[in-house]
């Protein structure tokens, strides 16, 4: 199957997004170290001197640029293509950390990087074409089809059970509870982001979609999902080691997002069995590489089982959450400037 122009735009934007986001973690880390050296108070113990550090703000601006590119990528290419490419930000961060921060990149870490790259290339080659959408009502009809409503209903029920039954009893002992809530809500947020992005794209092309209530409904869904993701990701990171949270969250989030996209946008409808199998195998390779890279980097950094700092690639809301310093606290407590 040929690689369409829209898929190419989405692919380029997704790669640019990963490059900027991966670099932003290193720039912010340098800013945090510089701020700590100047003030003597770490972010992890309540210091906010990094807010006066230009390098930290440069990292935030870099991250925002990357998130904007990621947002736009979803308007051009299917989530099956864009979402797994988020793993590339981990590679960028790992390589830059090796050269700039003098952090270790083991042979297993290098193997993880290669696996992510190879898997991403296979996904790009076999990715489905983005189907043309002419209005937000068309997206709404996709979102209200019985199969996707069944998925949404299942997600809502599972989230309620996790939040009100499992979280109070097992949230602090089982990492799957908080990461499961984040991942389930994240799959809905990506579908809504794609719907909203497509509506804005059509609006900029002269077909105003802001006059339709469906557009604003998707805005509301994005806001609700982002707030819940931020809240429960914070709980997960505060309770468990990032070496555990990051790969589990990436696997769950990416798998559920692809499933939601396949149901709502019927990404695999016109694909051959060979292409679908190739995408699934490539996705497994990317997941394995991500887990390998996270485990080798994070467990080597910390002899104690405490949170470390590593980028979570999948989604806008969770990555932007690291901007206020809470996400980076854990790692800053362990590394000397």
* pLDDT, the chain, mean: 81
Least reliable range by pLDDT among 152-156, 192-196, 275-279, 289-293: 289-293
pLDDT at 337 over 70: no
**184 Cβ contact list (under 8 Å, min separation 6):** 155, 158, 159, 162, 256
Tokens of 263: 């149901």
The pLDDT of residue 129 is: 79
User: Model pTM?
Assistant: 0.76
The pLDDT of residue 162 is: 95
Tokens of 99: 């050269």
pLDDT at 13 over 90: yes
The pLDDT of residue 208 is: 92
**From CA 243, how far away is CA 224, in angstroms rounded?**
27
**331 Cβ contact list (under 8 Å, min separation 6):** 29, 242, 301, 307, 308, 309, 310
The pLDDT of residue 232 is: 87
CA distances from 260 to 98, 116, 294 (A): 36, 22, 26
The pLDDT of residue 108 is: 84
List pLDDT tens digits, range 73-83: 988 888 888 88
The pLDDT of residue 331 is: 44
The pLDDT of residue 251 is: 82
Q: Are 100 and 30 in contact (CB under 8 A)?
A: yes
Give one DSSP letter per residue of 264-276, joined into a string. HS-TTTT--HHHH
Mean pLDDT of 215-221: 95
The pLDDT of residue 90 is: 79
pLDDT at 172 over 50: yes
**178 Cβ contact list (under 8 Å, min separation 6):** 167, 171, 232, 233, 235, 236, 239, 240
Length of the chain, in residues = 337
Confidence category of residue 84, pLDDT binned at 50, 70, 90: confident
Least reliable range by pLDDT among 95-99, 140-144, 300-304: 300-304
Between 16 and 269, name the one with better pLDDT. Answer: 16
In our burial notation (b when 16+ CB lie closer than 10 A, e otherwise), range 96-118 reads bbeeeeebebeeebbebbebbbe
Confidence category of residue 2, pLDDT binned at 50, 70, 90: low
The pLDDT of residue 41 is: 63
Residue (of 96, 79, 118) closest to 315 by Cα position: 79
pLDDT at 70 over 60: yes
Mean pLDDT of 272-276: 89
The pLDDT of residue 101 is: 78
Residue (of 254, 262, 310, 316) closest to 287 by Cα position: 254
Tokens of 13: 């934007």
With a pLDDT cut of 90, the percent of the chain lying above it is 31
Runs of H (alpha helix) within the chain: 5-39, 54-76, 79-82, 88-100, 107-126, 136-143, 146-161, 167-170, 175-204, 213-239, 242-264, 273-301, 316-321, 329-332
**From CA 137, how far away is CA 15, in angstroms rounded?**
30
Between 94 and 273, name the one with better pLDDT. Answer: 273
Give one DSSP letter per residue of 1-40, joined into a string. ----HHHHHHHHHHHHHHHHHHHHHHHHHHHHHHHHHHHS
pLDDT at 96 over 60: yes
Tokens of 117: 């790259």
List pLDDT tens digits, range 35-65: 778 777 665 555 667 778 888 889 889 988 9
List pLDDT tens digits, range 278-334: 999 999 998 888 888 777 655 444 433 343 444 444 444 444 444 333 334 444 444
Tell me 305's DSSP state.
Answer: S
pLDDT at 158 over 90: yes
Handedness of CA 212, 213, 215, 216 (dihedral sign): positive
């Amino acid at each position: 199957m040929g690689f369409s122009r829209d898929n190419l735009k989405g692919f380029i934007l997704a790669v640019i997004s990963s490059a900027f986001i991966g670099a932003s973690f290193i720039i912010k880390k340098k800013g945090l170290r510089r701020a700590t050296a100047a003030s003597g108070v770490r972010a992890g113990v309540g210091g906010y001197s990094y807010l006066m550090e230009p390098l930290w703000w440069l990292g935030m601006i870099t991250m925002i640029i990357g998130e904007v590119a990621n947002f736009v990528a979803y308007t051009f290419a299917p989530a099956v293509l864009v979402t797994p490419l988020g793993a590339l930000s981990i590679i960028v961060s790992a390589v830059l950390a090796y050269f700039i921060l003098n952090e270790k990149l083991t042979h297993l870490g290098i193997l993880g990087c290669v696996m992510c790259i190879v898997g991403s290339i296979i996904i790009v080659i076999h990715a489905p074409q983005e189907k043309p959408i002419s209005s937000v009502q068309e997206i709404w009809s996709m979102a209200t089809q019985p199969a996707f409503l069944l998925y949404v209903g299942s997600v809502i029920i599972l989230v309620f059970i996790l939040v009100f039954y499992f979280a109070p009893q097992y949230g602090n002992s089982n990492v799957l509870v908080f990461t499961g809530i984040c991942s389930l809500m994240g799959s809905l947020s990506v579908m809504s982001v794609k719907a909203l992005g497509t509506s804005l794209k059509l609006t900029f092309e002269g077909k105003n979609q802001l006059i339709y209530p469906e557009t604003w409904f998707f805005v509301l869904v994005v806001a609700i999902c982002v707030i819940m993701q931020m809240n429960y990701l914070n709980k997960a990171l505060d309770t468990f080691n990032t070496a555990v949270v990051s790969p589990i969250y990436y696997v769950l989030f990416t798998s559920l997002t692809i499933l939601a996209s396949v149901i709502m946008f019927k990404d695999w409808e016109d694909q051959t069995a060979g292409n679908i199998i190739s995408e699934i195998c490539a996705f497994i390779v990317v997941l394995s590489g991500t887990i390998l890279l996270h485990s080798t980097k994070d467990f080597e950094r910390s002899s104690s089982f405490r949170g470390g700092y590593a980028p979570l690639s999948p989604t806008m809301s969770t990555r932007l959450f690291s901007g206020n310093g809470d996400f980076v606290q854990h790692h800053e407590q362990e590394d000397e400037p």
